[in-house]
Structure 1
């Protein structure tokens, strides 16, 4: 499989690239800087991304919201819309979106981000990722998308291959902990690209 990976040098993007290449897939990494051997393109540059996407079988959107104190939602949603249009132009239908955990539910209609104990420092980013999910659902119906939310905590760790998959509800262990390593998240994402079991759905992964 040829995979276009937009946001290839982030914490999750790097691990998705490693996992895909480990399985023999060809990965074209894309970043705004063009560092680390990636192609240089901004997700907002529809023409450039479309040109890079030509001939690929799938794309992964692994772009994080801005973390400089500016509005995180507008740029993230604009980047996604630019990528949607680029994939349409290139004839690439399969898209995996690296999402957030804040929009997962802890009770019917109650999201993680809505809880009184949700960290204020991360709320803007969580709300941006939640808005991204709604935009994907509303505007990418012609694409074969999957939005993959991590557990409440995702960080570098071990590649175990042992985890659970869920839908719109937050997954936690018996002690109430919701964790996943970035390495195992990458396994789940590449698994989905290979198996296509959650097309046009949001799924989540946790221990």
Structure 2
């Protein structure tokens, strides 16, 4: 796949902090992005709006059969609600997105220290992020046990990700953080680079500035 090939991308969570930047980056490179939101959230310019839930089997199947890529930038609840519905939606993606390339915006808690301990299990890990990180690690496990015909990539950011500058430059590693932080804009650059030039099929990788 070359950078000049237009991809059709079904992006769930397209109105969020990370999803909106992925959409903007992809559109700027000439890709066709359909942004799925559950409640019709505002989308970046150039994105085709669609209403749909990652938890809905028909929606995911339709997205996979009509797009080259199905991309999830969703995440578990941060308001104290159960994370089980979100994990069920991830399982739905794993089960029903066969035929499309699947990229998943993952968390950093499942990344490993140099000693091999998950960050979420390390002393000093912020307790307010523990539930979210644990669910993110469970999502990674769902992909690692996915059917062999699922073409997936799980992209973990550095431990700190926030809006910032788009430099177009980033560091890559597999399971140990490549650095302490990354801008959401450069995370989007790295993810769209992976779409255009796949290097981590059926793998998790991580990026940092």
TM-score of the two chains, using structure 2 as the length reference: 0.90
User: Structure 1: which 4+ aligned runs deviate by more than 3 Å?
Assistant: none
Partner of residue 107 from structure 1, selected from 114, 121, 132: 114
Q: Is the 8 A contact 1:147 1:203 kept in 2?
A: yes
Q: Which structure 2 residues correspond to residues 40-189 of structure 1 after superposition, within 5 A?
A: 40-72=51-83, 74-88=84-98, 91-92=99-100, 94-172=101-179, 178-189=180-191
Residue of structure 1 equivalent to 2:33: 27
Residues 196-205 or 106-115, more deviating? 106-115
Cα deviation, residue 142, structure 1: 1.8
Distance (Å, rounded) in 1 between the aligned partners of 2:111 and 2:152:
18
Residue of structure 2 equivalent to 1:36: 42
State the Cα deviation string for residues 73-132 of structure 1 (Å, max 9, x = none).
x222211121233322xx32x111100000101133301111121111111001110110
Superposition RMSD in Å: 1.3
Q: What is the total number of aligned residue pairs between the two structures?
A: 198
State the Cα deviation string for residues 132-179 of structure 1 (Å, max 9, x = none).
00111102432111100000100000000111000001222xxxxx01
Cα deviation, residue 68, structure 1: 1.5
Distance (Å, rounded) in 2 between the aligned partners of 1:48 and 1:76:
15
Q: Is the 8 A contact 1:5 1:27 kept in 2?
A: yes
Instruction: Identify unmatched segments of 5+ residues in structure 1.
Output: 173-177
Residue of structure 2 equivalent to 1:175: none
